[in-house]
């Protein structure tokens, strides 16, 4: 049984997720902790909950989702997992940070590349990797079929979708990703997005103005 805990970090208000099982094993998805107090909050939660981090995962590598990668690596020794097509964005993230007035120390360690259909085990539970480009070239999502939830990054939001005006974005590709990768999931599937409140696949099928035309 997996438990999903969310934190909203940085001036960009990005959702960072910690997902843990009953044994205390956890994965950290899109650590957006930018300020020292945010890093402390995340670390304190993990330590006081008795969790053991096993994975560092990025849905994609826009700067607001990678602020905390180096901190996670330095604290728990985890290797970053991304899609190979996100590597250029990861490398460019500090330059974007400077342009946004948000300088930060980037992760520069080894990379483990994830591909569509890969399985990430966490004890007796598992995530399936979905390939969901459009917001960025190598965007992926993490789907737990047994509990019907998906950690969707910046693809699908409550009554909205990810922006496609950033480098590597493509509107038609994003819409295809939502229809072919997310809307085929059960309607009850909970979507934990990279920004804003959670939603469900069924709700978005009925109410998302970008997908009801």
- Residues whose CB is less than 8 angstroms from the CB of residue 52 and which lie 6 or more positions away in sequence, other chains included: 24, 25, 26
We report the CATH number of the domain holding residue 61 as: 3.60.15.10
Whole-angstrom Cα distance, residue 145 to residue 128? 8
Whole-model pTM: value is 0.97
Structure tokens at 147: 């509990």
Residues 107-135 have a mean pLDDT of 97
Q: Specify if 213 maps to a domain.
A: no
Whole-angstrom Cα distance, residue 192 to residue 187? 14
Q: Specify if 157 maps to a domain.
A: yes
Q: Specify if 212 maps to a domain.
A: no
Under the banding of pLDDT at 50, 70 and 90, the label for residue 213 is: low
Residues 54-65 have a mean pLDDT of 98
Q: Specify if 77 maps to a domain.
A: yes
Q: Specify if 17 maps to a domain.
A: yes
Residues 138-146 have a mean pLDDT of 98
Residues of the domain holding 62: 3-207
User: Considering its fold, how many domains does the chain have in total?
Assistant: 1
pLDDT in the model for residue 138:
98
Q: Specify if 147 maps to a domain.
A: yes
CA 193 to chain centre: 8
* Run of H or E including 119: strand 119-122
Q: Phi/psi at 180 (nearest 5 deg)?
A: -90, -20
Q: Specify if 126 maps to a domain.
A: yes
Buried b (16+ CB within 10 A) or exposed e, 42-58: beeebeeeebebbbbbb
**What ranges make up the beta strands (E) of 11-164?**
14-20, 25-29, 52-57, 80-83, 111-114, 119-122, 125-131, 140-144, 149-153, 156-157, 160-161
- Taking only the tens place, the pLDDT of each residue in 72-105 is 999 999 999 999 999 999 999 999 999 999 999 9
Q: Specify if 9 maps to a domain.
A: yes
Structure tokens at 165: 């005006």
- Taking only the tens place, the pLDDT of each residue in 148-177 is 999 999 999 999 999 999 888 999 999 999
């Amino acid at each position: 049984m997996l438990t999903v805990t969310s934190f909203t970090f940085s001036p960009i208000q990005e959702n960072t997720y910690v997902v843990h099982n009953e044994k205390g094993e956890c994965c950290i998805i899109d650590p957006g902790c930018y300020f020292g107090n945010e890093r402390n909050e995340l670390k304190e939660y993990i330590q006081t909950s008795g969790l053991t981090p096993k994975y560092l995962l990025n849905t994609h590598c826009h700067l607001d989702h990678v602020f905390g990668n180096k901190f996670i690596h330095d604290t728990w020794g985890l290797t970053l997992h991304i899609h190979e097509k996100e590597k250029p964005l990861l490398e460019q993230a500090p330059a974007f940070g400077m342009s946004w007035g948000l300088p930060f120390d980037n992760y520069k360690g080894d990379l483990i590349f994830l591909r569509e259909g890969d399985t990430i085990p966490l004890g007796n539970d598992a995530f399936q990797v979905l390939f969901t480009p459009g917001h960025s070239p190598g965007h992926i999502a993490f789907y737990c079929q047994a509990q019907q939830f998906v950690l969707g990054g910046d693809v699908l939001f409550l009554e909205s979708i990810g922006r496609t005006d950033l480098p590597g974005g493509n509107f038609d590709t994003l819409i295809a990703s939502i229809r072919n990768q997310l809307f085929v999931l059960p309607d009850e599937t909970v979507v934990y997005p990279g920004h804003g409140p959670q939603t469900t696949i069924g709700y978005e099928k009925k109410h998302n103005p970008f997908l009801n035309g």
